[in-house]
Structure 1
């Protein structure tokens, strides 16, 4: 028996991701063999307290890919260390490397916005 996570309004399966994390390095433009262009970056996301009790791992690094031209231009202005909120869908990617197939999961980004840095109170 399988249990799909579904949207309660439509009872349809949902592939929806929402992450807040820190950009690990400057985003990179990649040209695919098809000629398509995408931008990729890695997002460092802190694990929840519950997850940290089960593992010594404190963060996860998640690959994010951006296909839409306007969003690619916006994401290319991000610098390492900037905190962002990302929404999108999970995608399983495949490629050939070293004579074998390789797969990984990435987030196909629908939106990406900077998270405002909280104001620091001054002692004046």
Structure 2
């Protein structure tokens, strides 16, 4: 029986991502042909139990997220909130796509220990 059939309201659709990981490499600032400013960086997030890591591309479009990202350095531990986006683009081989997190907020975290 579905939740709605039991009188329980269905959850609202949401696209919210929260990550804690380590910055890999330096953030890269660029101006797109459209004139939009963008800062990109890569985040490495370990999986539980010492398994492999996930490497996640981050895109900072808003001025506050761009400023915060540009203050980060390789190896910094950060907390990121945002939304998962699928970006489409053209390559020499044709159309392609990739998933990335569109950052709404990023902040450095202190590492305990």
- Partner residue in 1 for 2:4: none
2:46 maps to which residue? 46
Normalised by the size of structure 1, how large is the TM-score? 0.78
Cα distance in 1 for partners of 2:80, 2:60 equals: 11
Structure 1 residue corresponding to 2:75, chosen from 81, 105, 109: 81
Aligned residues: 106
Higher fraction of strand: 2
What's the Cα RMSD here?
1.9
Listed as ranges, the gaps of 5+ residues in structure 1 are: 1-7, 53-57
Distance apart, 1:30 and its partner CA: 2.3
Query: What TM-score does the superposition give when structure 2 sets the normalisation length?
Result: 0.85
Q: Return structure 1 stretches of 4+ with deviation > 2 angstroms.
A: 8-11
Distance 1:31 1:99 in 2: 24
| One of 79, 94, 98 as aligned partner of 1:104 | 98
CA distance in 2, matches of 1:69, 1:33: 18
Deviation (angstroms), 1:9: 7.9
Q: Where does 1:1-124 land on structure 2 (aligned, <5 Å)?
A: 11-49=11-49, 52=51, 58-118=52-112, 120=113
In structure 1, how many angstroms separate the alpha carbons of the residues matched to 2:99 and 2:48? 20
Show structure 2 runs of 5+ residues with no match: 1-7
Deviation at 1:46, TM superposition (A): 0.5
SS in 1 for 2:26: coil
Match of 1:3 in 2: none
8 Å Cα contact 2:79-2:109 kept in structure 1: yes
